[in-house]
Amino acid sequence: MKKMNVMIGTLLTICIVAMAFKTANQPAWVVPEKYVSMANPVKADAKSISAGKALYEVNCEACHGKKGLGNGTKAADLKTVPGNFTKETFQAQTDGAIFYKLTEGRNEMPKAKKDLPGDNDRWNLVNFLRTFAPKK
């Protein structure tokens, strides 16, 4: 029974991830299970978030916008809609799923592993993206 609950939880996570990145002209973005269940090894402290913010400003802000809404200065020029990091569907993803997506990229979104080859840089970016979560 416990194994079944874990499987159902995993499937729900995969569905949430897929829905969060689906756009009218783009199929769902499926994340391999090893990433969905991957834990973030970098503590989300002020140092990590600050480092992630600096990386975001250089590598992500032009498309995703200053506040992570997907409305950056280059967004209108893209064929696909940049992700909105403030949405609950985005924030519901695991850190590992976000890490995978920014690492591998797809279509117009470049692979961060090319520009940010250090895993810790990408984990810092994940930690910063969490700061866009809606305030409750």
Q: What is the mean pLDDT of residues 46-58?
A: 98
23 beta partners: 26
Q: Per the structure, how many domains does the chain have? A: 1
What percent of the chain has a predicted confidence (pLDDT) above 90?
76
pLDDT at position 16 over 80: no
Cβ atoms within 10 Å of 88's Cβ, excluding its own = 10
pLDDT at position 13 over 80: no
Residues 127, 85, 14, 135: what is their CA dihedral angle, to the nearest 10 degrees?
80
Structural domain that includes position 9: 2-132
Q: Which residue has the higher pLDDT, 46 or 18?
A: 46
Report the pLDDT value the prediction gives residue 40, as an integer from 0 to 100: 98
Q: Give the predicted TM-score (pTM) of the model.
A: 0.80
| Residues 60-95: tens digit of each pLDDT | 999 999 999 999 999 999 998 999 999 999 999 999
Report the pLDDT value the prediction gives residue 53, as an integer from 0 to 100: 98
CA angle, 45 as apex, 18 and 136 as ends, to 5°?
55
What Rg value do the Cα atoms of the chain yield, rounded? 15
Q: What is the mean pLDDT of residues 98-104?
A: 97
Cβ atoms within 10 Å of 81's Cβ, excluding its own = 15
CATH number at residue 90: 1.10.760.10
Q: Which residue has the higher pLDDT, 6 or 135?
A: 135
The mean pLDDT of the chain is 87
Q: What are phi and psi of 82, to 5 degrees?
A: -65, 150
Helix axes 119-129, 95-104, angle to 10 degrees: 120
pLDDT at position 98 over 50: yes
